[in-house]
Amino acid sequence: MEKLLDRISREMQDAFEKAGYNRELGRVSISNRPDLCEYQCNGAMAGAKQYHCAPIQIAQKVAEQCASSEAFEKVEAVAPGFLNITLKGEFLKDYVVSMKNSPKFGLEKPEKTEKIIIDYGGPNVAKPLHVGHLRSAIIGQSLKRILRYAGHEVIGDIHMGDWGLQMGLIIHEFGIRHPESVYLDESYTGEYPAEPPFTLAELEEIYPFASGKSKEDPSYKEKAMEATAKLQNGVRGYRALWHHILNVSVADLKRNYDNLNVDFERWNGESTVHDVIPGMVEDMKKGGYAYISEGALVVDVKEETDTKEVPPCMILKSDGASLYNTTDLATIKVRNEEDHPDEIIYVVDKRQELYFTQVFRCARKTRLVEDSTKLRFLGFGTMNGADGKPFKTRSGGVMRLEYLIQDIYEEMYRKISENKTDDQEMPAQEAEQTARKIAMSAIIYGDLSNQASKDYIFDIDRFTSFEGDTGPYLLYTMVRIKSILNKAKGAGISLEDLTLQSAYGSADKDLMKQIASFGACMESAVEELAPHKICAFLYDLANTFNHFYHETKILTEENTEKRDSYLALLQITLAVMEDMVALLGFEAPERM
């Protein structure tokens, strides 16, 4: 469907044209004086110079031409030359009804369906997920849902850190602890056990221990680097041990991401492209792009217009080892060859921006991707604690993601237990599920309602509140609507085929206008990769609905046509909210 503002702009443009002016002047926007009118057009002001006359004269002539308009109830020319517009209730009602009857509320399909890969999550194997991983997961997953809803084909790839020094550290430390083990015995030719030689808990203890030790002890680090090289060069036992590390760790990652309603189509990692690197490096040398500088192989990526220094992209270290860069570049090459994506989007901490500038430039220069392939970096800010510093546990340590989720869940469980009234006893199982849903909304909305690139403060008290700009407030509003609809049903009112009428007052008209701007919100969320736009829309919608709710008798309305129209409006409000919260990554319970 044509977006509401486009639709009414078209009408205004026709009026400009009929009055003898350039139709381009007829663009309509939402009123910035809602006390005076609903929409406005400032075209007469812009046209004054061009037509050598007072803006008010133009405005008056245009307003006259609007008399027969299908869409406008009233168009007033006011000094110095504004056009103040009020919509016809019937027109708005018809628009909302066609939204209701169209798939995705009439959201227009993109001109071209794009194939998009989103690289998000980015956990490091054998390290537990901590709060720093929350943002990439939540933002990436939401973008995936939004872009799919808009009609694109989207593949999510987790791009695990599974190939670097942390692997060598674990392997080396394992060898010290288990000298009898067959894995590091290079003379061993038998089968390796199918069972992993460690539990998840042991694995998670080994990494920080080994990492700490390598910082104090250079020879320990040296050995870990040797183990890394052996792993990467394919020494059998090292690979077998690495597979165990990966399996144990991935099972745990899946469990954690499941808890957040986050999933990936591809569980690829840095290791996936290992075999592609030698060929890629060869091509970069042959193409004359890569050269040796201080022993290392590099590609220059600086450009004349740079205002800050952009250092060369390092492809191989002087010992021939590959780097984080190298695996990212090889991944671009493989994605291009296997999927031919129109776009690759990276949802990564904004502190890696310069790094991605280097990688993208290098990929283009060395022709790993077609010119038409967009490479986009969506950098997110840090999630801070109440003190404005990166979020920590009470004791000052790094907060594990699952503990954070558990904390919020417990807080929500406590709240809904307190909310319980005698006539609304909730069975324990339902209370648990409800608390989970609300907890999810608190965490996800708390994150996504901020523009991704900004740092934000994770404020548990604020995020879990049922009032204000929060996920639980949205759910509370949805539950309120569900409850009215259920009561209506209980009272014998049929909810099928309810007829929406033109608005009876300003509160229901406002609600219809807000619903009607769904298309514009979605379009900008897609274009700008901005879930926060959906959050802002939902918050406005919930406020507009609650205002309507407080102003209006719904179930006790004696005029049944009016009552049914209100119920129809509730249905569509709920349906829009349901789709939109699902795009963010949560859903409403039946009651709370």
Minimum distance between the CB of residue 164 and ligand ARG, rounded to whole angstroms? 9
Tell me how many residues contact ligand ARG (CB under 6 A): 8
Alpha-carbon distances, residue 32 vs 137, 359, 490 (angstroms): 37, 44, 42
Residue from 145, 152, 159, 436 touching ligand ARG (CB under 6 A): that is 159
Q: Which is nearer to ligand ARG, 159 or 244 (CB)?
A: 159
State the minimum distance, in angstroms, from the CB of residue 49 to ligand ARG.
51
Q: What single-letter amino acid sits at 72?
A: F
Question: Given the complex with ligand ARG, which of 161 and 168 has the nearer CB atom?
Answer: 161
The verdict on 161 binding ligand ARG (CB under 6 A) reads: yes
Smallest separation, CB 524 to ligand ARG (Å): 26
State how far the Cα of 475 lies from the Cα of 590, in Å rounded to an integer. 10
CB of 207 to ligand ARG, least distance (A): 13
Alpha helix positions (H), 151-235: 165-177, 200-216, 218-232
Q: Residue 349 in 3-state DSSP?
A: strand
Nearer CB in complex with ligand ARG: 159/274 = 159
Nearer to ligand ARG, 344 or 516 (CB): 344
Beta strands in 251-311 (DSSP E): 290-293, 296-299
Single-letter amino acid code for the residue at 356: F
For residue 4, give every residue at least 6 positions away whose Cβ sits within 8 Å of its Cβ, in sequence order, or none. 95, 513, 516, 517, 519, 520
Nearer to ligand ARG, 137 or 521 (CB): 137
Dist CA 404 CA 409 (whole Å):
9
- Whole-number CA gyration radius for the chain: 29
- Tell me 273's DSSP state: G
Site string for ligand ARG, 340-369 (x = CB under 6 A): ------x-x---------------------
Amino acid at residue number 515: I
Q: What is the dihedral of CA 227, 232, 234, 239, to 10 degrees?
A: 70
Q: Minimum distance from CB of 20 to ligand ARG (Å)?
A: 57
Amino acid at 287: G
Please give the Cα distance from 454 to 380 (Å, whole number). 7
Where in 101-130 is the site for ligand ARG (CB under 6 A)? 119, 122, 124
Least Cβ distance, residue 271 to ligand ARG (angstroms) = 12
**Residue with Cβ nearer ligand ARG (354 or 386):** 354
**Residue 314 contacts residue 328 (beta carbons within 8 Å):** no
Considering beta carbons, is residue 83 or 262 the nearer one to ligand ARG?
262
Please, what is the minimum distance in Å from the beta carbon of residue 460 to ligand ARG?
A: 25
162 lies in the site for ligand ARG, by CB under 6 A: no
Tokens of 251: 């099972």
Q: Which is nearer to ligand ARG, 159 or 480 (CB)?
A: 159
Q: How far is the CB of 140 from ligand ARG (least distance, A)?
A: 10
- Structural tokens at position 534: 């959906």
Name which position in 328, 447, 508, 510 contacts ligand ARG (CB under 6 A).
328
Burial annotation 555-577 (CB, 10 A radius, 16+ → b, else e): eebeeeebbbbbbbbbbbbbebb
**Nearest to ligand ARG of 348, 580 (CB atom):** 348
**What does each C-alpha distance from 573 to 210, 468, 540 come to in angstroms?**
55, 19, 12
User: Any idea of the CA torsion for 443, 444, 450, 453, to the nearest 10 degrees?
Assistant: 110
CB of 417 to ligand ARG, least distance (A): 38
Q: With respect to ligand ARG, which residue has the nearer C-beta, 359 or 481?
A: 359
Distance CA 512, CA 509 (A): 5
Contact between 96 and 516 (Cβ < 8 Å): yes
Measured from the CB atom, the residue of 346 and 391 that comes closer to ligand ARG is 346
Helix (H) or strand (E) holding 383: strand 383-384
Which of these, 135, 137, 138, lies nearest to 455 by C-alpha position? 135
Closest to ligand ARG by CB, 95 or 356: 356
Considering the complex, what minimum distance in angstroms separates the CB of residue 291 from ligand ARG? Answer: 24
Site string for ligand ARG, 390-419 (x = CB under 6 A): ------------------------------
* Distance of closest approach, residue 136 Cβ to ligand ARG, in angstroms: 7
Using CB atoms, what's the residue nearest to ligand ARG? Answer: 122
CA angle 178, 179, 181 (to 5 degrees): 70
Residue linked to tokens 């274009």: 527
CB of 282 to ligand ARG, least distance (A): 23
Nearest approach in angstroms of CB 327 to ligand ARG is 8
335 makes contact with ligand ARG (CB under 6 A): no
C-alpha 345: how far from its chain's center? 11
Query: Between residues 267 and 504, which has the closer beta carbon with respect to ligand ARG?
Result: 267
The candidate with the shortest Cα–Cα distance to 282, out of 297, 301, 269, is: 297
Residue 193, preceding bond cis, omega within 30 degrees? no
Which residues of the shown chain bind ligand ARG in the complex (CB under 6 A)?
A: 119, 122, 124, 159, 161, 328, 346, 348
